[in-house]
Structure formats: C-alpha cells, structure tokens
Chain A
Amino acid sequence: KQEVTQIPAALSVPEGENLVLNCSFTDSAIYNLQWFRQDPGKGLTSLLLIQSSQREQTSGRLNASLDKSSGRSTLYIAASQPGDSATYLCAVISDMRFGAGTRLTVKP
C-alpha cells in the first residue's frame, strides 16, 4: 500500500526566504504526483501536477521536482511572501493517497 509522508509537519520562515517542502512515497511505480495548497477552512487548490515522465514543473515562484527512483518530490517556493502561508499537500494521484501536509507560515 502506498504511503505518502511530508516532512516537516510545520515550517515558519521570514518573508523573502527560499524554501523547500518535501514529499516522500514508498512505492516508486507512480503515474503522477500533484501538489496542492489548502487555506484554513477552505478546499484544496491545485498548484502543480507532475507526470511520471517529467522531472519538474514550474509555475511562477513555484517549482516542483519528481525523483521516482528515490521516492521523493520537492516543492520549491522562491522569495516567500506572507500570502504563501497555508498548508501544502502532495498526492500520489494514481494511488489516490495524500500526505498529511506541511503547514507553512511566512512572517512579515
């Protein structure tokens, strides 16, 4: 059974820092992986979807990479802003499994 883990569970950084969020999975035979953002009391907003044939995807200040052989994906956020404060979740779509999320706080 696919297990998805996100470390750390919470992260606090000052505004302007570049940061990396980690997502690991136990079964490397995945089809794709998706990163989401969840604001308190809200639903999930899709950020990036990486197909297994790709190594990375970029959208604005966000860059997600995928290394199937090591069972890892990272979400890189450049020049963080207070508006980036939210919980970030990764999901192995082909297995319908989510990580528990990393709660990010960006301090002004």
Chain B
Amino acid sequence: GAGVSQSPSNKVTEKGKDVELRCDPISGHTALYWYRQSLGQGLEFLIYFQGNSAPDKSGLPSDRFSAERTGGSVSTLTIQRTQQEDSAVYLCASSLAPNNGYTFGSGTRLTVV
C-alpha cells in the first residue's frame, strides 16, 4: 500500500480481555517495528521484525505481550489479560531495510476500562 496502515484506529476494552492490533506495512518493506506511546510520554520500543529472522523482543514489557508477522508482511500485536496501564497509543513503523528511515502508521489508541 501507499503507507503504513494500522487497525483499529481506536479500541476500548474491558480489563482482563485480550486485544489484537494490526499493522500492514508498506509493500516491500522488510523491517517492521512496534512502539508504545503513553499519554505525554516518548516512544517505547516493543518489538522489531526483519525479514525471516527471529524478532527482537527485548522491549516487550511482560509475557502478556506477543507479536507475530506473517509472510513477512502483516503484523499483529496481541495483549492478553489487558490492564489499565496498557492504555496507550500503539504505533507501527516499517522501513525498506534495517537502518533505513521509518514510516509510521497513524497508530491504535487503546483504552482499557
């Protein structure tokens, strides 16, 4: 596609429920990144995918968070048993190759009530 697409744009969920956030990167971009931005805060790195290599999961805050990237394209970030502190904007970015510039999606605003 022309840009990075994220869905849904907004998600309200009850505490304890599981949620899935989707990212569709720019076609041909081999690298994909997930970040979290809490209210008034900077970007917190979560996970990085590069081609068929094992992902860099070093930023995932707990084992409730997981992500996969199917066929080297679409990625899904899953949060299990959501907590109120998970409320944030989740941003996805892709780049043509590692160390190339990022293009960001518009983000998913997650609210846990």
A interacts with B: yes
Indicate with 1 or 0, residue by residue over A74-108, a CB within 8 angstroms of chain B CB atoms. Answer: 00000000000000010101101111110000000
Give how many A residues have a beta carbon under 8 Å from the other chain's beta carbons.
Answer: 20
Taking CB atoms, residues of chain B closer than 8 Å to A101 are: 42
Which segment, of A11-19, A20-28, A41-49, A60-68, faces chain B?
A41-49
Contact of B102 (CB < 8 Å), options: A93, A97, A99, A100: A93
Task: Tell me whether A46 and B102 are in contact (CB under 8 A).
Answer: yes
Q: Report how far A36 CA is from B107 CA in the complex, Å.
A: 15
Task: Tell me whether B106 and A32 are in contact (CB under 8 A).
Answer: no
Closest residue of B by beta carbon distance from A30: B99
Indicate with 1 or 0, residue by residue over B98-113, a CB within 8 angstroms of chain A CB atoms. Answer: 1111111111000000
Closest residue of A by beta carbon distance from B42: A100
Taking CB atoms, residues of chain A closer than 8 Å to B35 are: 98
B41 within 8 A of A: yes
Taking CB atoms, residues of chain B closer than 8 Å to A36 are: 104
Contact of A91 (CB < 8 Å), options: B41, B102, B106: B102
Taking CB atoms, residues of chain A closer than 8 Å to B106 are: 42-43
Q: Report how far A44 CA is from B104 CA in the complex, Å.
A: 6
Query: How far apart are A88's CB and chain B's nearest CB, in angstroms?
Result: 12
Sample of 13 more A-B contacts, CB < 8 Å, known A45-B104, A93-B102? A42-B106, A43-B91, A43-B105, A43-B106, A44-B104, A46-B102, A49-B101, A89-B42, A94-B98, A96-B33, A96-B45, A96-B48, A98-B43
What are 25 residue pairs bridging A and B, where the CB atoms are less than 8 Å apart in the complex? A31-B99, A32-B101, A34-B102, A36-B104, A42-B107, A43-B91, A43-B106, A43-B107, A46-B102, A46-B103, A46-B104, A91-B43, A91-B102, A93-B95, A93-B99, A93-B100, A93-B102, A94-B98, A96-B33, A96-B48, A98-B35, A98-B42, A98-B43, A98-B45, A101-B42
